[in-house]
Amino acid sequence: AGAGTQVLPAGQTLNASGTTGLTMALMAQGLQRLYDRGVVVNPLDFTYVHSPNALRDILEDSGATAFTSTDFTNSNVMQAGVVREFMGFSWIMLPDKAVNTETGILPIVESTDRIGTYMFHRNGVGLAVWNRVSAAIDKRPDKNNTTQVLVKTHIGAVRIEDELVIEILVDNSES
């Protein structure tokens, strides 16, 4: 309910051919496009949403020494196995497949096995959370009286300014 897609303008997509994985050059190009929009740069106003394959690609990128070396960053990517912050972005990794489904969370271009990853400024997207959260705890007699917890709420997100959202298409094939 309420789910849908709206294609970004062509100028907001990088690596449209999707023939390469994520590289430092693509990250820098996307960041430059956001800076060119005149956004105020504050720490962690930027978010990058990526797939596990995109993380693998950038760790294998020969230009990514600054990404993995403690000489350039205090984020020890190689020990943690995840990236929390880098290049002014909060990094969020979403799994390739939603739990118990074959559907990916990030959009995949079916014919080419490219996956969309997104960088955005916080003013480019909006999030609404309804204050009314309902919770219920009950026992399930059909499951040996196992406790069942149910929490419900309504949440919605929308792109507010296309210019503050950059899509980077990356090769999603296993290497």
Is 70 exceeded by the pLDDT of residue 99?
no
Is 80 exceeded by the pLDDT of residue 63?
no
Smallest CA-to-CA distance from 170 within 96, 98, 77, 78 is with: 96
Beta bridge partners of 46: 89, 121
What one-character-per-residue DSSP string does the chain give? ------PPPGGGEESTT--S---HHHHHHHHHHHHHTT----TT-EEEEE-HHHHHHHHH-TT-HHHH-TTT-S--HHHHSS-SEETTEEEEE--SS-TTSS--SS-EETTTTEEEEEEEEGGGEEEEE-S--EEEEEEEGGGTTEEEEEEE--EEEEES-GGGEEEEEEE-S--
Beta bridge partners of 115: 108, 170
Q: Which residue has the higher pLDDT, 112 or 59?
A: 59
Among 41-45, 92-96, 121-125, 169-173, the least confident range: 41-45
What is the average pLDDT score of the chain?
79
Q: Which residue has the higher pLDDT, 52 or 101?
A: 52
pLDDT at 149: 93
Q: What percent of the chain has pLDDT over 70?
A: 74
Among 28-37, 44-53, 91-100, the least confident range: 91-100
Give the distance, in angstroms, between the CA of residue 45 and the centroid of all CA atoms in the same chain. 14
pLDDT at 2: 46
Q: Give the pairing of strands 46-50 and 89-93.
A: parallel
